[in-house]
Amino acid sequence: MNALSAESFGNRLRTTTSARGPLCVGIDPHPALLAKWGLDDDVAGLERFTLTTVEALAGQVAVIKPQAAFFERFGSAGVAVLEKAVAGIREGGALSIVDAKRGDIGSTMAAYADAFAGAASPLAGDAVTVSPFLGFGSLRPLLDLAARTGRGVFVLALTSNPEGGQVQHAVNGDGRTVAQTVIDAVAAENAGAQPLGSVGVVVGATVTGVGREHDLSALNGPILAPGIGAQGATADDLKAVFGPALGQVLPNSSREVLGAGPTVAGLREAASRTLEAVSSALGS
């Protein structure tokens, strides 16, 4: 999707997950996985890994999430592979979330917006992940451009890494945690959207006590939930973590599926098993 879209990301996400099921598969071509596939840790290995994954899954799963850092570490040649991935995912009918976790202020944030949500940018997928910890308002250039181009934005809120709590669980003067402040700001962006807002949050599937300590009830947007598989969360954990917000959850699994490569058939089979497990847990 390089042209302006008349259809919102939230609507396209709901349509695609209804047809293909609620699963996002990451593309995380780190050195250990390349080696497991028998590939060299170079641009050729990166491209083979990436395009095989896209071939296997772009016509099967709802969402594919390439992790930008694993492409950027090879410089411009690696970024070119990321561009091919975004194009191939689109051609296969899946939605793409470029996992870039960008966050800055002013003209720099506007430049990130052009790169990851601009109508003509080859790096712009259907959505992008961002960090709000320079203040939610710093994301405004990206939020506005994404809304105009029909793209989505996933904002980090409650991440699964143990260090995240130092910032995300800190309490503001109004008694809300930083994470709740982010969630509430996203909810304001999505107010009135039907059937689903286009601004989501990232909440790790390994995070405990989400419903008790953080309120997702007004979010009206998707919840990207990484951590299924290698990070320790199971599909059954989704109910305990997300409770009443379960219907908005988009579970993400990366190494659990990617480890079944290098064959297209192996990847498809692993994705099918994971989809069956998360669909059962979500009641979809």
Give the side-chain half-sphere CA count within 13 A for 200. Answer: 29
Range of the domain at 30: 9-279
197 in a domain, yes or no? yes
47 in a domain, yes or no? yes
2 in a domain, yes or no? no
213 in a domain, yes or no? yes
Preceding amide of 162 cis, omega within 30? no
In whole angstroms, give the CA distance from residue 242 to residue 77: 39
* Number of domains composing the chain: 1
Could you tell me the sign of the dihedral formed by the alpha carbons of 263, 254, 128, 238, in that order? positive
Q: Does pTM surpass 0.85? A: yes
- Give per-residue pLDDT as tens, 118-157: 999 999 999 999 999 999 999 999 999 999 999 999 999 9
Q: For the residues 263-269, what does the mean pLDDT come to?
A: 98
- Give per-residue pLDDT as tens, 207-231: 876 766 789 999 999 999 998 766 6
Q: Which of 36, 65, 101, 239 is catalytic?
A: 101
3 in a domain, yes or no? no
Is residue 256 within 8 Å of residue 281, measured between CB atoms?
Answer: no
169 in a domain, yes or no? yes
pLDDT at 5: 54
241 in a domain, yes or no? yes
- Give per-residue pLDDT as tens, 66-104: 999 999 999 999 999 999 999 999 999 999 999 999 999
Known catalytic membership, residue 101: yes
- Give per-residue pLDDT as tens, 19-69: 999 999 999 999 999 999 999 999 999 999 999 999 999 999 999 999 999
Question: Domain of 159: which CATH number?
Answer: 3.20.20.70
284 in a domain, yes or no? no
Cα–Cα distance list, 60 to 86, 128, 152, 176, 182 (Å): 15, 21, 21, 40, 32
pLDDT at 160: 83
Residue 19 has a CB neighbour count (10 Å cut-off) of: 9
